[in-house]
Chains A and B, each alone.
Chain A
Amino acid sequence: DSGVTQTPKHLITATGQRVTLRCSPRSGDLSVYWYQQSLDQGLQFLIQYYNGEERAKGNILERFSAQQFPDLHSELNLSSLELGDSALYFCASSVQRSGNTIYFGEGSWLTVV
């Protein structure tokens, strides 16, 4: 158990819908990262937050957004869903230092039908 908690574990939704994925980081970790894992794109970095502020942005679509709340949990919002958004979405957390270990949750499986 990495200490990073993600909900829901599985989600099936229809095209055009909106979903929210939730993440609780490890106790004491201020940084939260979101990654997308799909068969064709592999593991792609989406976005990072540190103590409530956006720190880095990767290949995140405009239809997607995220935030980190004062209690440090984070949410990834996916809207106008398309079939191609079906993927495993990982949340990860770390202490904000270079070279720090990033701990991953077990992921949220999203299936868009």
Chain B
Amino acid sequence: AQSVTQLGSHVSVSEGALVLLRCNYSSSVPPYLFWYVQYPNQGLQLLLKYTTGATLVKGINGFEAEFKKSETSFHLTKPSAHMSDAAEYFCAVSEAGGTSYGKLTFGQGTILTVHP
């Protein structure tokens, strides 16, 4: 069984500051890892994903995440926060292969607030 834990349901930063959203996963098989963003009253948009290869993954809007197998983590970062980054962020895991057929298990979400 897979699970995802996002540390901190709310994160608040100042505009221009570093954004760090934490995600730890549990998976009995090699995982595929995803970060999605949800803006108010909208659907989920993929920010980035890790499947295989380079462990540092770059996504849209200046976000990146690093897969650390030893720490079972996939934290999301952005060097400089922008007001438009205010949204809810979800970390998700799926199994690489297996019988899950790609379905995602999501964390509880982290609401990012950006102050002027």
Classify the secondary structure of B's interface with A: loop
In the complex, the number of residue pairs spanning A and B with C-beta atoms less than 8 Å apart equals: 65
B25 to chain A: which residues have CB within 8 Å?
Answer: none
B96 pairs with A99, CB closer than 8 A:
yes
Say yes or no: is B8 at the interface (Cβ < 8 Å to chain A): no
The answer, among A31, A99, A105, A106, for a CB contact under 8 Å with B49, is: A99
B33 → chain A closest CB, angstroms? 10
The answer, among B44, B90, B97, for a CB contact under 8 Å with A98, is: B97
A18 to chain B: which residues have CB within 8 Å?
Answer: none
B101 pairs with A55, CB closer than 8 A:
yes
Say yes or no: is B27 at the interface (Cβ < 8 Å to chain A): no
Q: Which 4 A-B pairs have the closest CB atoms?
A: A99-B51, A43-B106, A104-B44, A106-B43
Q: Report B's interface with A, CB cutoff 8 A.
A: 32, 34, 36, 42-46, 49, 51-52, 90, 94-97, 99-109
Q: Report A's interface with B, CB cutoff 8 A.
A: 2, 4, 31, 33, 42-43, 45, 48, 50, 55-56, 58, 90, 92, 94, 96-107
